Copies of this chain bind each other. A is one copy, B any other.
Amino acid sequence: MSAMETLIMIPGPTHVPPRVLAAMAKPMIGHRTDEYSAMHLACEARLKRIFRTDNPVLIFACSGTGGMEAAIVNTLSPGDKVLAVNCGNFGQRFGEIARRFGAEVDELAYTPGSSANPDDIAAKLAADGDIKAVLTTFNETSTGVTNDMAAIGAAVKEHDALLLVDAISGMAAIECQTDEWGLDVVVAGSQKAFMLPPGLAFVSVSDAAWSAVERSTLPKFYWDFRAMGDRAEEGQTAYTPAVSMIFALDTALSIIMEEGVDAFAARHGRMAAAVRAAIRALELRLFGDPAHASNTVTAVRGDGFDPDGMRKVMSEKYNVLLSGGQKELKGKIFRIGHMGAVTEREILTTISCLEAALTHVGVAIARGAGLAAAIEALAESP
């Protein structure tokens, strides 16, 4: 193994900056202290700016899937009808969680790589007034597609249904107007654009969602929004918080605020555009609807070569970690994560090594073309 750090270009966990790593190593403190409460409140205030919401943002000790489960068990009751919008593995998971907890799930499934059509959601809601909630994925990590949450929010707000959003791999990197778009429960995760290790989920809860919480009869304890909400104003959680992760969150949020919430998202747009330009210049095919290409993860078809063999070369020869396809996409695509701390340097490194790795596994490419396209794309939007 190289003495150099691996360059992690997967859609989470992402590179954790040294300042954040240093915060992880801070000596432990008691969690029922003023020191903890002040830090927790300062974190929540900045999370609200990133979520663009006035709603409380609860912080759970769990990975993102736990946050998705929390969204379900707090707002639904057994037998509730929900519309699960499935654009890939994580959309499928959200519906599966609801099904597991006894919801009656109507699935609106799209071919992987497609984005959700807000008109389809509107039609479903118009046809069935009993739908209590719509489950959606903001950014589908498995396919590299971002859904139009503004339009989906508008479609749902015509009806009396909650909009639950898995925004785990999108939040902070891609503008998310939680309140303006009418997103009722929005779930984010630490190990994506937030530049943190995995282990925290952030969950915003709208007034309409709080009303649903009052009606919900699904059993819950660890995920209980009310138990969390009861102590949120004092900067406390219902159960022991992951203190070191909160130290790190505090630092990561400072880094985001230093760059600026808008600039942070804009940078992601630039990086993603450069990656896509390089992929096109190499005459590889992007997977997924280009009109809804994600700014945090790019999926690329492995047409005519084994993407997993190429990834192995990327990892072993160049120490750059990419992701493969999940489930039915295994062996068919590879995925480049470009979120969090990534700068132009990491994009150029990744494209350069990708060209070398493709050459190594015998894919005929115009060597240098990917890099040239990336440089040009970055120069166009300085």
Contact = CB atoms under 8 A, between A and B. Distances in A.
Nearest to A96: B221
A199 interface: yes
A301 to B, nearest CB: 21
A66 B29 CA distance: 21
Contact of A24 (B10, B24, B221, B323): B24
Interface in A60-95: 61-66, 69
Contact of A69 (B218, B222, B323): B222
A64 B239 contact: yes
A3 to B, nearest CB: 12
Interface string A159-199: 00000000000000000000000000000010100000111
A291 interface: no
Residue from the set A14, A22, A61, A238 with the largest chain B CB neighbour count within 10 Å: A61
Interface residues of A, number: 55
A8 interface: yes
Contacts of A199: 61, 199, 242-245
Given A6-B29, A97-B221, A244 B24 contact: yes
Contacts of A191: 28, 240, 243
B13 A27 contact: no
A39 to B, nearest CB: 13
Given A191-B240, A222-B62, A21 B13 contact: no
Interface in A1-54: 1, 5-6, 8, 10, 12-16, 21-22, 24-33, 35
Given A191-B240, A199-B244, A62 B62 contact: yes
Interface in A309-339: 321, 323
A102 interface: yes
A101 B35 CA distance: 34
Interface in A241-293: 241-245
Contacts of A245: 197, 199, 242, 244
Contacts of A323: 30, 32
Contacts of A16: 27-28, 244
A215 interface: no
A360 interface: no
Nearest to A197: B244
A129 interface: no
The 3 closest A-B pairs by CB, nearest first: A199-B242, A197-B244, A25-B25
5 contacts: A6-B27, A22-B25, A28-B197, A63-B239, A242-B242
